[in-house]
Structure 1
Amino acid sequence: MRSFSFSIFFLEWWLTRQRWTARGYYKAKPSILVIPSATVALGGNFTILFHNEQWSDFSDEVHIYIREQFYPKPNVSVSPSQVVAVGGNLTIHCKNEYYQESEFYLIKEGDLDVLQKKRPRRNLAVFPITNAKASDGGIYWCYYGFLASPDQRYSCFSDKVYINITDPALNKPSIRVRQKGPHALGAKVQILCEGPEKGLNFYFHKSMELIASQMAKSESYMTTFTINMVRLEDAGSYTCQYHLRGNPFVWSEPSDPVELAVRADSPVGNIIRLAVAGLVLLVLVLIVAEAVYLATNGIIFPGWWLTRQRWTARGYYKPKPSISVIPSATVALGGNFTILCKSEGHQRTEFQLYKEGPPASLQLLHTELTERDEVLFPIVNAQQAHGGIYRCIFQSVHNEQWSDYSDEVHIYIREQFYPKPNVSVSPSQVVAVGENLTILCKNEYYQESEFYLIKEGNLDVLQKKRPSWNLAVFPITNAKASDGGIYWCYYGFISISDHRYSYFSERVYINITDPALNKPSIKVRQKGPHALGAKVKMLCQGPEKGLNFYLYKSMELIPSQTAKLEKNITTFTINMVRLEDAGSYTCQYHLRGNPFVWSEPSQPVELVVRDPSLSKPSIKVKPRGEGSLGMNITIECQGPEKDLKYFLLKSKKRIAPQMTNPDRNTAEFLLSLKRQEDATDYTCQYHRIGNPFVWSEPSDPVELTGSGKKLASCVSSPFLPKSRSLQMGMNLWDYRCTG
């Protein structure tokens, strides 16, 4: 019978929960994910990936491990290859060149824990992946530590290896050359790659070597790889592959190959050589024209300038695109960087990225068609071969005339071997416009090294120092808005020929406050003091719409939030107030498009919380009985201990504060009855002197009654100095009188 009753109860509970779920009252717990990994380098970054007013259950827990990196990184390799078919086997090798009897850990990006752990007798750990599945594709790295070491320090993370899984169940793509060959030197050739789905990401290979990647349009099965001017070295065998949308590590098998044949000698080739000779002649003519311009006060040269302007207006001439590197042109071996190319105002453009090859030649690396006026070319797992000089060009889809080449950008690949330097900023990482600061970079282990200061987004080293000792000082004087940004440093040794450098230091973030920007304002929407568990909203308002606001408690950053594009105000919500939320809050904003130029902080606002664990004060009126016009009365408030600060509340509104004497636990408030509306409820509260943001609950109310018209005003208290006594008509923050 008990079992039957329990079953009915459980079934009813299950049905109720289903109804709640259907109506949105109950939400299943969310999943939780850590990017890139739950094992994080000390000073590194990680991201934890459901917002609704109705809160769900808590997710499963995730444990974050912070590793102080001290020992050199291990070497990592994959055997037999980083590309393996479904069902195949591979092995990841992690080797420590310097120490034995260490424990190795294998990490996979996105996993919530260490994937495998090994403690080999020697300095090589072997991590097998057998019967490979699609889910085994991804980014892996390893590190090591010493169980016997009490300092809990580990090695730096190894370089990353990229495991790609080819799935024979996926349909192969097809590939063809649009124009019939053999092709003349200098001809434009288009190679088309087609897959089984729309919007796939295709990779283009020559003799099994990746040379370009490109995404098909969302409505197309096909993409086009273009060689604008065929050279002899472009002849060869080409294939293409695609990967699944949403999983860049599961690939199709390569297409069947297609041959690109090039004619070594052709009339077009002769025309090209004649064109080159003509260009040389044109350069000589321009030099002579400049000389004539100088001799004739500039009559000829303006004519050339006007002709160029006409060409530009008709689309025959395009200005060169801009080029930049994210995060920096100085890249760690195995690191990632992105080259950004941008045209000015040209929509629906095709960009091409080139790298300088052998003398006087450019190698086409990537082609990208975009609806926007800019494109990103990402390069992952950078190797020494990725170092060098890059340029880009573009053309509009409506006009086949190509732009000039962009300015060049030089990529430096740094093999990191020595321990990273310490970096600090003096006097602060926040500085006002026009002030000075210094970035200090210190190498704890070596002297006579050369230090380099990097700023994110710069195309070259910002400053270079070779101090006598192991400390480099990089000054930034008369700070401007453009000095805000992310900085780091590293060092190397000019006298050593192995071209190895230190690891990059931690990043420092330089923020510039501009007094010319209007301060934001801040307020608490609900009146306080607030009960524990209450929902509180703080509103921060700035001078423009869509600003990014930052909320601080006692000058410590808590969250950040962007206002909606059509609003100049944002709301920071504390869903369940705790005692530790009590305090002083301010907010700031930064300019759109420049996260390192900030306003000054707002004026502070106080969040006051009621603590139910504090004993309520008691309250009484002297003399007892009914009051009369002009009568003076005393309201006495008594707390549980001495040296408290009390507040008198009239109809739940604060009207006067009062400090007790150190040897007393009571405060007295003197009132003169003068108006009928002063015959109302009075309560009092207190807080401890050292914690002004946590108050007691209000006392029980006491009611003043009387006959006739009455009036009340605050009068001076015998327990306050004369300079702080409350006088008729005074309207100060702490001593506002409402009677």
Structure 2
Amino acid sequence: MRFLLCKLGDPNALQDVELAGDVAEFPIRRVSQRDSGNYSCRYSINLNQPIWSEPSNPVELVVAELPETKPSISVSPSGVIAPGAAVTIRCQCQCEARRLFLYKGGIEIRELDAAGDGGEFTIPSARLEDGGVYSCRSRSRSEPPKWSYPSEMVRIIVVELSYPKPSISLRPSWGVALGGAVTVRCRGLYQNVRFLLYKDGNPNVMQDMEPAGDLAEFPIRNVSRRDGGHYSCYYCSKLYPFIWSHPSDPVELVVAEPKPNITLYPSGQVAPGGAVTIWCECWCRGARFLLSKAGDPDARRVMDPMGDVAAFPIRIVSQGDAGNYSCQYSTKWDPPIWSEPSDPVELVVAGATDTSEPGMTLAPPHPGNAGPGTRAEGRKSTSTPHKRDYTRGNIVRLALGAGVLLALALMLAEAAHRWRRGGH
């Protein structure tokens, strides 16, 4: 069979192919805007005088511009808004946006020219009907125009604030490490109410719950850095959904970095004058490390390593280096967030040399000695001299020694007597 590919309105785009089967493929390996359009094809039996078929139904090739990155959207003030309050919706985009479009519930409601990297849509006096879900998009002025993806959606709640504020707390209350779990607890003054939790400055994390009693729990099971911040909550009656409480006092969730590991190399005791390195390791990048020694604030050292391991060498170890060390690290943000301290590791330094009189070492104290001031044998001691020991064991030893000496003297005297009798 012989196949012919045609593009509507472009006679230069004709392509044909002859093959043994009944399927022809016409690849376009680098698609451009010129390739967009309607295509159709024909076939014929490969004879000397081919007879062509009717053209196929056309198929349209649409070449679309790649969309730009989606903009971000924020609302001020965040949370629940009282009627009559002024609301600002900001749409921000790092793109070629020259026109911004605001959507409510997926329907375009307003547009404006971008100023710099974004623009603001204002609601001077919020009404109940202004509540809803909003998003925005950007569009370039180029032809054909480039549209961005829609932003994340943000919810605006406009209600009367009449009920007393609820209480809010964290469990555990002292913060949580990365990857840990925490629960935000909101307690109202009435039973069977609806609770709403929001994070200050980020209305995208709003959550609601309808518990059976007066307590709602919002768990965060795998805490990330984004979860840190201030939280507040509201409640409303299920019978009157447009009347809400005043916001609770905010509570701050502090996300702590996990504690690092600390090790010594070499491990075990280190001799004075030797070398040792204290290694601190974390699951982080670009962190700042702080090494501390228990009871010695002057021994602190700071390091900014390239990776996630910091090495603190002690090249000439002395007795003053002995002790317990720990380390922690922080982000380089402003303000920084510090991790928990590592578990302590102990650096043990073996017995040192007394440098006041070279060549002499400190002898261990013995019973009756003055203690550490006593010198080893061969040196004059400053301690009180030993008293003679007249114990029974020593008397026996002295008697045996005297007996041996007496026997030797008698043997020598007998030998001398025989020698003289022999005429020598």
TM-score calculated relative to the size of structure 2: 0.47
Higher relative contact order at CA 8 Å, sep ≥6: structure 1 or structure 2? 2
Larger-gyration structure (1/2): 2
TM-score calculated relative to the size of structure 1: 0.29
